[in-house]
Chain A
Amino acid sequence: EAGVAQSPRYKIIEKRQSVAFWCNPISGHATLYWYQQILGQGPKLLIQFQNNGVVDDSQLPKDRFSAERLKGVDSTLKIQPAKLEDSAVYLCASGRIRDSSYEQYFGPGTRLTVT
């Protein structure tokens, strides 16, 4: 089974520029998550999709961040304009039910550096 794919793996931009990240979840996984992980902290949920609908985006800074999941498969996360504090690893995960429980599977992440 192929894992969660993310690209790019690394990105360096200047503040006020825009950037986009792409995620391809595991085939058949209905739920997709974007997390932000700042150095030394645990992942923080930005947005959760169920198929192509948003379940939770309460912690997404909507003035600068946007995300979409067209056709309930791939997803993109965009930041415009970027700030220095957006420097972090952006993790995508997809989820499924296994053994009557629910598990998440993570991609390798995109490391963003804003200068």
Chain B
Amino acid sequence: KQEVTQIPAALSVPEGENLVLNCSFTDSAIYNLQWFRQDPGKGLTSLLLIQSSQREQTSGRLNASLDKSSGRSTLYIAASQPGDSATYLCAVRRTGNQFYFGTGTSLTVIP
């Protein structure tokens, strides 16, 4: 069974700092990994998707990397802003379009 872990569970940083969120998974037989953002009381918004054959994906201030062999992914946020405050979730996709989610990292960016 695929287990997905995210560390840290919560993170608080001052505005402008660069930060890294971590995601690890136990079974490296994945098709892709997706990072989501969840704002309080809302659904999930897709941020980045990395295919299993890729090493990283970038979108604006966000960069996600994937090391499938070691079962790890990181989400790098540059020059953090208060609007980045949210919970960040990673999900790995296995066969049959099944997704397994981590428990999330709650990020607070202090102005």
Instruction: Please give me the residue from chain B that is nearest to A30 by CB atom.
Output: B97
Chain B residues bordering chain A, tally (CB within 8 A): 26
Describe A's contact surface by its main secondary structure: strand
Taking the closest CB of chain B, its distance from the CB of A46, in whole angstroms, is 12
- A residues near B104, Cβ cutoff 8 Å: 41-42
Say if the beta carbon of B72 comes within 8 Å of chain A: no
B96 at the interface (CB under 8 A from A): yes
Q: A105-B46, A108-B42 are in contact. List 9 more A-B contacts (CB 8 A).
A: A42-B101, A42-B102, A50-B97, A55-B96, A91-B43, A101-B31, A104-B99, A107-B43, A109-B43
6 contacting pairs across A/B (C-beta < 8 A):
A45-B98, A55-B97, A102-B32, A103-B46, A104-B99, A109-B41
Task: Please report A residues at the B interface, Cβ cutoff 8 Å.
Answer: 4, 31, 33, 35, 40-45, 48, 50, 55-56, 91, 93, 95, 100-109, 111
